[in-house]
C-alpha cells in the first residue's frame, strides 16, 4: 500500500480480536502501533474507522452490549491520537449480510458515507474529492 505514497490512509477495524476476555487497551495499543508505523512511512493523514457494531461473534460468551462497550473504549483511546470515524450509522439489519459480521451493499454505502463525513471535517472542501 505504501508504495503508492498515499496522502491519506484509512485503517478499518473489524473487531475480530474482541473477545469476552480481551483488554481494550491492548487492542488500542496495537492499532496505535500500526497508525504510527504508517505515519512514519510518510503518510500525512491517518484516519481510523471505528469498530462497527455487530451481532455474531466467535466467542460465545461475548454479548452485543459487551462488544459495544469494548469497541467504544478502543475508539476513545485511539481518538486521543488519531481521528476516529464513528460507524454509528451502520446499525440496521439491512446493513449486514446474513452472517451478522460483514456489511451488505447498503451497509457499505453507510460506511462510506460515515468516512466521507469524517474526511470532510478533516480536510478543506477544495482538498476533498470523493
Q: Kindly report, residue by residue over 50-103, the tens digit of the pLDDT.
A: 887 777 777 889 988 898 899 889 989 999 988 877 665 566 778 888 887 788
Please state whether the predicted TM-score (pTM) of the whole model is above 0.85: no
For residue 37, the model assigns a pLDDT of: 93
C-beta separation of 20 from 58 below 8 A: no
Mean pLDDT computed over every residue of the chain: 83
Give me the half-sphere count of Cα atoms (radius 13 Å) on the Cβ side of residue 35: 22
Strand 84-85 and strand 45-49: the pairing is parallel
Q: Is the pLDDT of residue 128 over 60?
A: no
Nearest residue to 84 (alpha-carbon basis) of 95, 93, 73: 73
Domains of the chain are: 2-121 (3.40.50.1110)
In this structure, what are the phi and psi dihedrals at residue 42, rounded to the nearest 5 degrees? 100, 5
Amino acid at each position: 500500500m505504501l508504495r503508492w505514497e498515499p496522502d491519506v490512509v484509512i485503517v478499518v477495524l473489524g473487531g475480530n480480536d474482541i473477545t469476552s476476555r480481551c483488554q481494550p487497551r491492548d487492542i488500542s495499543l496495537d492499532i496505535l502501533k500500526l497508525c504510527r508505523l504508517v505515519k512514519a512511512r510518510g503518510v500525512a493523514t491517518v484516519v481510523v474507522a471505528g469498530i462497527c457494531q455487530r451481532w455474531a461473534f466467535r466467542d460465545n460468551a461475548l454479548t452485543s452490549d459487551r462488544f459495544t462497550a469494548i469497541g467504544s473504549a478502543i475508539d476513545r483511546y485511539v481518538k486521543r491520537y488519531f481521528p476516529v470515524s464513528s460507524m454509528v450509522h451502520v446499525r440496521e439489519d439491512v446493513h449486514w449480510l446474513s452472517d451478522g459480521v460483514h456489511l451488505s451493499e447498503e451497509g457499505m454505502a453507510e460506511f462510506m458515507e460515515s468516512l466521507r463525513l469524517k474526511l470532510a471535517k478533516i480536510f478543506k472542501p477544495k482538498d476533498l474529492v470523493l
